[in-house]
Amino acid sequence: MNIKILHMVEGAKEATGIAVIIDVFRAFTVEAYIMNNGAEKLMPVGDMQIAYDYKEKDGNCVLIGERHGKILPGFDFGNSPSQIKNVDFTGRTVIHTTSAGTQGIDNAKNADEVLTGSFVNAKAIAEYIKQKKPETVSLVCMGLEAKSQTEEDNLCAYYIKSLLEGTTIDLTSEIENLKHTSGAKFFDISQNDVFPEEDFYLSTEVDKYNFVLKVEKDDNGVDCIRRIDL
C-alpha cells in the first residue's frame, strides 16, 4: 500500500486511490457530529452561495459553515462542534461550507473514493481502508483555510498512517502540544467567541466514532456524505 501525505488544495488535486481529506479544526469533526446526530442528508459545498441557494429553495434545510472561522451571515450554526453536539438533525438536510475541508472535497477529482478525516473517527478510517486494500492512499491535510499547513491535520494524517502500517506514535503528548501551536487560538480568551475552548477538546477526542464518512454523488450528481458504520 502506497501512502501519500499531501497538503491543501493542490494536494487534493493530486490525490488518487482512496483520498482522506483531513480537517480536524473543525470541518470534519463537525460533520461527524452532524451525522451522529441523525442528519438525513449532508451536503458539503465549496461555494457559500450554493448554500444560500439551497436555503432559498428549501427553508427547512440547515446551514452550517464559516469563513475565517466566523459563522456566515444567515447561517444556522458556525463550524463549531460545541454548537451542534446536542442538536437533533433527524430528518433534516444540512448544507456545510468551510474555508478548508469542503474545498478539499471539491478538488479531489482524481481519487477513486473520498473520505473525510478527523481524529474522532481516525481508527475507523484506517480499518475501512484496510478492508478495501487499495494500492494507493492519499492523506490530504487541508491546513488553515487551505493556505498553510497546520500541526493538527498533519498529526491526524501521521496517526492514520501509523494505524495502516501497524506502528505507534505518542498521540497523547502530541495532542497536548497542539495547545501551544495550532490549537492555541482555542485558549485565547479574545477569540473564544469564534474558537470556543470546548471545540479543541471535542476535536481531539480520538476514535470517538466507529464510522467513516464517504463522499458520494446523489441522483442529481451533487456531493453528499454517506455514513458507513464499521
User: What is the per-residue pLDDT for 99?
Assistant: 87
Residue 42 lies in a domain: yes
Task: Report the Cα–Cα distance between both ends of the chain, in Å, rounded.
Answer: 21
* Ramachandran class of 166: left when φ > 0, alpha when ψ lies in -120 to 50, beta otherwise: left
pLDDT tens readout for residues 70-127: 999 999 999 999 999 999 999 999 999 998 899 999 999 999 999 999 999 999 999 9
Number of compact structural domains in the chain: 1
* Ramachandran class of 68: left when φ > 0, alpha when ψ lies in -120 to 50, beta otherwise: left
User: What is the per-residue pLDDT for 228?
Assistant: 98
> CA–CA separation, 102 vs 146, rounded Å?
10
pLDDT tens readout for residues 28-49: 999 999 999 999 999 999 999 9
CATH of the domain at 201: 3.90.1560.10
Q: For residue 181, is pLDDT > 90?
A: yes
Residue 192 lies in a domain: yes
Q: For residue 163, is pLDDT > 90?
A: yes
Please check whether residue 12 is in contact with residue 153, taking contact to mean a CB–CB distance below 8 angstroms: no
**Average pLDDT of the chain, as a whole number:** 96
Q: For residue 1, is pLDDT > 90?
A: yes
Residues 6+ apart with CB under 8 A from 70: 78, 194
Residue 118 lies in a domain: yes
How many degrees, rounded to 5, is the angle at CA 47 between CA 187 and CA 100? 35
Residue 115 lies in a domain: yes
User: What is the per-residue pLDDT for 104?
Assistant: 94
Q: Which residue has the cell 461555494?
A: 47
Residue 214 burial class via C-beta count within 10 angstroms: exposed 0-12, middle 13-18, buried 19 and up: middle
User: What is the per-residue pLDDT for 220?
Assistant: 86
Residue 229 lies in a domain: no
Q: For residue 226, is pLDDT > 90?
A: yes
Residue 226 lies in a domain: no
Domain that holds residue 151: 2-221
pLDDT tens readout for residues 134-145: 999 999 999 999
pLDDT tens readout for residues 145-156: 999 999 999 999
Q: How large is the average pLDDT for residues 48-59?
A: 95
Residue 227 lies in a domain: no
Handedness of CA 160, 162, 164, 166 (dihedral sign): negative
Residue 148 lies in a domain: yes
Using the CB atoms, write b or e for 99-117: b if 16+ within 10 Å. Answer: bbbbbbbbbbeebebbbbb
Residue 85 burial class via C-beta count within 10 angstroms: exposed 0-12, middle 13-18, buried 19 and up: middle
> CA–CA separation, 23 vs 156, rounded Å?
9
